Amino acid sequence: APRLLQAIAADGVVPFLSPFAVTTKKGEPLRALILTGCISEIGILIASLGYIAPIITMFFLMCYCFVNVACCLQTLLKTPNWRPRFRFYNWALSLFAVLLCLTLMFISSWYYALVAIAIAFGLYKYIEYKGAEKEWGDGIRGMAMTAARFALLRLEEGPPHVKNWRPQVLILLKLN
């Protein structure tokens, strides 16, 4: 967990996590380790697995859900660098896993599921607001590019219908 937190912070996508990107001379993420230890200590002090288990379950299921959403989107968008190696992989399997994760979240604890979804949505909007753009892009822009590509390819299938024709006006002026 500390190394994962340090790696997320080092990416710079979530700006308020940047203090946890620091490592020691030996490469140990000390600040992330301290934060993880404090979170673990809070769990120990609560001393009731009934309160802690649903929270942990929600965030693990959200993690699996988003991984499957990413796999499904990469397949449907036909991203050139997406080459799954699993022999029986299909985008429908990823979509089924997304629905299964969401269903399990609401079956186990619907109010924790709503809180986890709200936190994930809030984090997404925060990242979107801060404008954290990295070289790997995002799925929403990928969907827009794929829709535009699909529409452009469909235009070449035949001549435009009279009702859909748009005039292309070109005016040549001599401005001397």
- Rg value, the chain, Cα: 24
Residues 13, 132: contact at Cβ < 8 Å?
yes
pTM to 2 decimals?
Answer: 0.67
Helix 30-46 vs helix 49-76: crossing angle, to nearest 10: 130
Q: Give the residues of the chain that fall short of pLDDT 70.
A: 131-139
What local confidence, expressed as pLDDT, does residue 117 receive?
A: 93
Q: How far is the CA of 56 from the CAs of 5, 69, 109, 148, in angstroms?
A: 16, 20, 12, 40
What local confidence, expressed as pLDDT, does residue 136 receive?
A: 59
Q: What distance in Å separates the CA atoms of residue 69 and residue 98, rounded to the nearest whole number? A: 6
What local confidence, expressed as pLDDT, does residue 139 receive?
A: 64
Q: What distance in Å separates the CA atoms of residue 90 and residue 94, rounded to the nearest whole number? A: 7
Owner of token pair 């989107």: 73
What local confidence, expressed as pLDDT, does residue 73 receive?
A: 84
CA atoms 139, 141, 145, 150: torsion sign: positive
